[in-house]
């Protein structure tokens, strides 16, 4: 794999993470626990859509085959999607949405920070732009994690369950495959081993503030980055892509 190919795949995977997260967050519209919180979720979803667009456009531009952001987003199948499994898991209850945001965003903001000095200039610029949004997402979700964890017996139990359930999908975040290795070696991308330690420190601090137990690192599920997904991704893509698949090139 050339370093250019690795960069294209890496940018596409980041776009995939962003768009799948956006889909899951947007499912909260009409189902939020409070109007204000629903707006927050919708805002976050739109932040992610914006980021996905930038990553996809960039990947398409690098690839040079004339693929638009929409082509990349709407015309690829599940096995071409390289999002991590954590993000395609069903929403569950509000505690689970918060747990997922905290677990992913803590990783994501570190990943973005690790990219801002990359010689892949445009990727670095997108990262610098996305960090600001990501920082707020962590702040918001972190507040909620503490509130739920340190709240009532029921909220504590439910958010602990969410953390326990999603934990098995956190290992994949730090698994470096060839693409990550080339990114690190040739494009000054983040070192996932270092990033993992930073992530654990931040998560430890947050969980202890929220009076929650950190699950033990047991068996970890993975494969999302390489296109091996759970059945859930298919449903997300079916819903998201149906319009472009039915009416190719539709525009409004």
Partner 1 sequence: MSKTDWPLYEVFIRARSGLSHRHFGSIHAADETMALDHARDLYTRRNEGVSIWVVRSTEIIASDPADSDSLFEPAADKIYRHPTFYKIPDDVENI
Chain residues in the site for partner 1 (CB under 8 A): 33-37, 39-40, 43, 136, 139-140, 143, 147, 152, 154
CB of 155 to partner 1, least distance (A): 8
Report the residue number, 41 or 236, with the smaller CB distance to partner 1: 41
Q: Report the distance separating Cα 27 and Cα 31, nearest Å.
A: 8
Core vs surface per residue 3-30: b (16+ CB within 10 A) or e: eeebbbbbbbbbbbbbbbbbbbbbbbee
Report the residue number, 147 or 245, with the smaller CB distance to partner 1: 147
Report the residue number, 3 or 147, with the smaller CB distance to partner 1: 147
Report the residue number, 155 or 244, with the smaller CB distance to partner 1: 155
CB of 29 to partner 1, least distance (A): 13
What's phi and psi for 244, nearest 5 deg?
Answer: -65, -30
CB of 111 to partner 1, least distance (A): 24
- Asked whether 199 and 122 are in contact (CB, 8 A), the reply is no
CB of 43 to partner 1, least distance (A): 6
Q: Which long-range contacts (CB under 8 A, 24 or more apart) does 7-10 make?
A: 7/62, 7/120, 7/123, 7/183, 7/187, 8/59, 8/62, 8/63, 9/82, 9/179, 10/123, 10/179, 10/180, 10/183, 10/187, 10/189
Report the residue number, 3 or 143, with the smaller CB distance to partner 1: 143
CB of 212 to partner 1, least distance (A): 18
Chain center to CA of 249 = 27
Tokens matching residue 214? 């950190």
Report the residue number, 70 or 93, with the smaller CB distance to partner 1: 93
CB of 188 to partner 1, least distance (A): 33
Q: Report the distance separating Cα 39 and Cα 249, nearest Å.
A: 30
Neighbours of 251 (CB within 10 A): 6
């Amino acid at each position: 794999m050339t370093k250019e190919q690795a960069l294209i795949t890496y940018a596409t995977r980041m776009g995939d993470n962003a768009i799948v997260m956006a889909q899951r967050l947007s499912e909260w519209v009409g189902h939020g626990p409070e109007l204000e919180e629903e707006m927050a979720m919708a805002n976050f979803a739109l932040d992610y859509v914006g980021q996905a667009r930038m990553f996809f456009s960039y990947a398409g531009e690098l690839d040079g085959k004339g693929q638009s952001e929409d082509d990349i987003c709407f015309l690829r199948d599940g096995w071409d999607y390289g999002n991590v499994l954590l993000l395609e898991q069903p929403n569950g209850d509000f505690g689970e949405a918060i747990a997922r945001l905290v677990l992913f965003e803590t990783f994501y903001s570190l990943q973005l920070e690790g990219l801002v000095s990359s010689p892949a200039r445009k990727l670095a610029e997108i990262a610098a732009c996305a960090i600001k949004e990501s920082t707020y997402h962590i702040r918001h979700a972190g507040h909620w994690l503490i509130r739920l964890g340190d709240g009532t017996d029921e909220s504590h139990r439910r958010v602990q369950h969410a953390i326990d359930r999603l934990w098995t999908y956190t290992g994949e975040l730090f698994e470096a495959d060839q693409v990550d290795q080339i990114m690190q070696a040739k494009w000054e991308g983040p070192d996932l081993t270092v990033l993992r330690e930073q992530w654990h420190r931040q998560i430890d601090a947050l969980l202890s503030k929220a009076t929650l137990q950190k699950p033990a690192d047991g068996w970890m599920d993975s494969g999302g980055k390489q296109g091996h997904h759970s059945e859930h991704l298919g449903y997300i893509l079916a819903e998201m892509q149906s319009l472009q698949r039915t009416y190719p090139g539709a525009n409004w």
